[in-house]
Structure 1
Amino acid sequence: MSLVADPLKQILSPLKMAQLHNNNSAILIVDMQYLDAHPEYGLIQIAKQHGIDTKYYEDRLKVAIKNIQLLLKACRENGLEVIYCTIESMTKDGRDRSKEHKKANLHASPNSKEGEVIEELRPMHDEMVFKKTCSGVFNGSNIDQKLRNLKIDNLIITGVLTNQCVDTAVRDAADRGYDVVLVTDACAAFHESLHQASVEILEGIYCCVESTKKVVDHIYQINR
């Protein structure tokens, strides 16, 4: 059941999934690192110290990881660009972090375990990893320039948190003219209501929202 009745969606034409060809499309995996996406590190440990129940998030992460693995396999086998972004400071003490990350006590020092992409989704070969110290990868890195150099028009976006860094990436990408596919079962938030609210607000205006299966099937079909 829809949480929000958005009148704009009655006016605008619905967004369809872009043609995800290997010469103009990439997958962007947002913050699937030890700091944000591993139960023994960072965000989950901070949440537990503050008495926050993390069971839903941890369960959702397991699903998202399996689905991102399927998406990675499809992209790699079909020649789509694979791109990551992670939270990582340039300084050991994190003084270059954004104010929001300082307030939230989010910090991964250079070359730290917390800054690494989790083992299950580790980058291969020369796949690019963009570092940021704020929610938005487009504001916090030169990813837009690199995507233009690669002639990327379409972005498949996955990762954490749905209602924070993923949401920001989708909005910023759409504002810059990319056609965005948000893979809803390859994302996670701390509560289902947060995840669902973000998806419903983004869908049809900033991106099209699809399942992992539909995106994977489309990639194989369009790149035969």
Structure 2
Amino acid sequence: MKSPISVKRGTVAAVFIDLQEEHRQDPRYLVEGFDKILANIQRLQAAARQNNVPLYHWAYIVDLDKQERPFHPVGTDGKSAFSDKSDPLTEICREVAPADGEALLIKAEASAFRAGPAADRLKASGVEWLVISGVWTEACIDATVKDAVARGFRVLLVKDACGSGSAAMHQTAILNLANRLYGGAVTDTDGACLLLAGESVAVWQVEGSVPLRFSFENAARLYSEL
């Protein structure tokens, strides 16, 4: 159900997850529609900067020399099959890279909030809402959103500023998150930019639990209605 909300200035931060070159250059990990996602994220970043909303950027870096992961996929060279610390494609895409003074945080897990002090620092600064975008929706976005909610943040999930390996993977992941996005909301880039500017916007919010009983046949329609 859609209803109007607004976000009080000083209580919101923008979170960008894993916008790394491997998702547009490594054939194994291409994100469908990544260029459009990056364009939407550029708009979000511009709106955040114009309205003095803090921006936090995360990159997924795997260092198997420091992390004990017995089942982690590796290549023939023994390095991580994705996001290895030595791979230049782990760099953040230039057009959405942190500006001077913005935080670039490294995570070794899917979630931005599974470990480290970031969540506590955001809480201490008075942040209540996190505007979340990035890739992959069913993996790192899913984990980050769920951990954020568990830590007591309200999440504004920007559906067209997230993506995955296919539209179906992305859309069903958004629907799964929406079904239990307690305290938060789903919107698109247009809506998120207006909210960052302090305006009131009608956004989708969950009522009860698991209201979206989607199927292969109706998932795309339900996603478009969020």
Q: Write the deviation string for residues 161-218 of structure 1: whole angstroms up to 9, x where unpaired.
A: 0110001111110111100011000011111121111111111522411010011122
Q: Given the superposition, is the C-alpha separation of residues 195 and 144 from structure 1 closer, same or farther in structure 2, using an over 3 Å criterion?
A: same
Deviating 4+ runs (over 4 angstroms): 14-18
**Does structure 2 conserve the Cα–Cα contact (< 8 Å) formed by 1:85 and 1:130?**
yes
Which residue in the other structure is 1:66 paired with?
Answer: 39
**Does structure 2 conserve the Cα–Cα contact (< 8 Å) formed by 1:18 and 1:181?**
no
Q: Given the superposition, is the C-alpha separation of residues 101 and 188 from structure 1 closer, same or farther in structure 2, using an over 3 Å criterion?
A: farther
What's the TM-score, normalizing by structure 1? Answer: 0.76
The structure with the greater share of residues assigned to helix is 1
Distance 1:139 1:189 in 2: 21
Q: Given the superposition, is the C-alpha separation of residues 101 and 76 from structure 1 closer, same or farther in structure 2, using an over 3 Å criterion?
A: farther
- Which runs of 5 or more structure 1 residues have no equivalent in the other structure? 1-13, 48-53
Residue 29 (str. 1) matches residue 13 (str. 2): no
- Secondary structure of the equivalent of 1:195? helix
Q: Given the superposition, is the C-alpha separation of residues 216 and 98 from structure 1 closer, same or farther in structure 2, using an over 3 Å criterion?
A: farther
Aligned partner (choices 88, 110, 113) of residue 113 of structure 1? 88
**Does structure 2 conserve the Cα–Cα contact (< 8 Å) formed by 1:101 and 1:133?**
no
Distance 1:168 1:130 in 2: 16
**Does structure 2 conserve the Cα–Cα contact (< 8 Å) formed by 1:21 and 1:80?**
no
Which residue in the other structure is 2:97 paired with?
Answer: 122
**Does structure 1 conserve the Cα–Cα contact (< 8 Å) formed by 2:7 and 2:198?**
no
Q: Write the deviation string for residues 73-96 of structure 1: whole angstroms up to 9, x where unpaired.
A: 00000011100111124x5xx322
Which residue in the other structure is 2:7 paired with?
Answer: 20
How well do the aligned residues superpose, as a CA RMSD in angstroms? 2.4
Distance 1:179 1:100 in 2: 34
Q: Given the superposition, is the C-alpha separation of residues 88 and 154 from structure 1 closer, same or farther in structure 2, using an over 3 Å criterion?
A: same
Q: Given the superposition, is the C-alpha separation of residues 195 and 45 from structure 1 closer, same or farther in structure 2, using an over 3 Å criterion?
A: same
What's the TM-score, normalizing by structure 2? Answer: 0.76
Which residue in the other structure is 2:204 paired with?
Answer: none
- CA shift for structure 1 position 15: 8.1
Q: Given the superposition, is the C-alpha separation of residues 158 and 180 from structure 1 closer, same or farther in structure 2, using an over 3 Å criterion?
A: same
Distance 1:152 1:98 in 2: 33
Aligned partner (choices 17, 23, 38) of residue 24 of structure 2? 38
Distance 2:189 2:71 in 1: 30
Which residue in the other structure is 2:196 paired with?
Answer: 219
